[in-house]
Amino acid sequence: MTEKIQAIVIKSSDKKEKDKNILLFSHEKGKFWATLKGVKGANAKMKMAQNPFCFGEFILEDGKFGKIVTGFESIETFYELSEDVEKYFEGTAMLEIVNSLNFSNETEQTGVFLTLLKSLKTLCFEKVENLYVLDKFLLDVFALSGFPLYTEKCTGCGTSAFEHIYIDYNTGELVCTACKNYSCEETSKNSYLAMKILNNTSLDKLKTVKLAQGSEEALLRVLVKNFEARFERRLKLIGILS
């Protein structure tokens, strides 16, 4: 059976002397592994298809041990990410987040795929402050997965007068002092304001945003801890968080 799909390369691994396995992510099929034959050869026609971030059209055939890539046409390589170390690590973190997700339905799967593609385009081609895209991507992933971080009021009592803001890592919700429990941790006002601003800003408007200095990294730590609590997956964001 032959099929043609548009997909993003999440990661790759060696297979035999000249072959590569690549983890592809498409909105139709989700995440799945496929094999690139002879791609490590000097004159390999599909050499570009082994690179993480690469978005293209893949032609797939059923092989004895899984899918085999028999054709590839690049749509966008996002090569520019490799020329900026901060953007490269931020993009790699988004791929790791997607790799850690298990999708509960097709709507979530399609939503995450489109959000990843838009986020990579914003990161690659727009002048956006470091970590803003990654923070926004995580917030969108929570919403698409059914765990949105509501920032307008306490999810316990409904008050909008946040003197102190806490995140409940058991529920992934923001609560006030009166509603906090043992699983809650206080987050700074700057982190909360950054979360609120990014929640209400679309990706195409992200370049117009200016957050308080340092709030993007503080917010990222909160979001990563919430991700690990919600999805029970450890994230290793190399080059971003120590």
Cα within 13 Å of Cα(207), Cβ side: 10
Write phi, then psi, for 198 (nearest 5 degrees): -70, -35
Residues 2-76, CATH architecture: Beta Barrel (2.40)
For residue 105 the two structure tokens come to: 């339905």
Beta bridge partners of 71: 59
pLDDT in tens, 100-114: 999 999 999 999 999
pLDDT of residue 163: 85
Cβ neighbour number for residue 97 with a 10 Å cutoff:
22
Q: Is the Cβ–Cβ distance between 8 and 53 less than 8 Å?
A: yes
- CA 57 – CA 63 distance, rounded (Å): 19
Q: Virtual CA dihedral for 133, 139, 140, 141, nearest 10 degrees?
A: 110
Q: How do the domains of the chain map onto residue ranges?
A: 2-76, 85-149+189-231
Q: For 163-190, write each residue's pLDDT tens digit.
A: 899 999 988 889 999 999 998 999 999 9
Q: Where are the beta strands (DSSP E) in 27-135?
A: 30-36, 55-63, 66-76
Q: Global pTM?
A: 0.94
Instruction: Give me the residues of the chain with pLDDT under 50, please.
Output: none
Question: How many separate helices (H) and strands (E) can be counted in the chain?
Answer: 5, 8
**Size of the chain in residues:** 242
Separation between Cα atoms, residue 149 and residue 142, nearest integer Å? 7
User: Is residue 8 within a helix (H) or strand (E), and if so which, with residue range?
Assistant: strand 2-15
Tokens coding 10: 């999440």
